[in-house]
Amino acid sequence: MQIMKLLLENWRKLIEGEVIQFPHQPRTSEDDMQFIIQLEDQIAQRLAGLHDNMASIPPEKIEHLEEIMNNLEELLKV
């Protein structure tokens, strides 16, 4: 019922020429994305140094790093 009320209210606003506010989609800024990419690269390089090369990094550590980076991206969304 509430969805119908919202739909009718937005229809009224559209007909009357009012601006309809759509929900804000949170996004990560370009600067924050560059920060995340650089941080991920630095961590990967450090792991490669600890394991002699990238191919020697255990898959579970790579998965853990991806999870951390995804969480960081979510935290930086506005």
Residue 8 lies in a domain: no
Domain membership of residue 76 as a residue range: 24-78
Torsion, CA 31, CA 34, CA 38, CA 40, rounded to 10: 110
* pLDDT of residue 40 exceeding 90: yes
Residue 3 lies in a domain: no
Residue 68 lies in a domain: yes
Q: How many domains does the chain have?
A: 1
User: What is the Cα 23 distance to its own chain's centre?
Assistant: 17
Residue 16 lies in a domain: no
Which pLDDT band, with edges at 50, 70 and 90, does 66 fall under?
very high
CA-derived radius of gyration, the chain? 22
Q: What is the mean pLDDT of residues 49-72?
A: 93
* pLDDT of residue 30 exceeding 70: yes
Residue 40 lies in a domain: yes
Burial of 1: CB neighbours in 10 Å, binned 0-12, 13-18, 19+: exposed
Residue 58 lies in a domain: yes
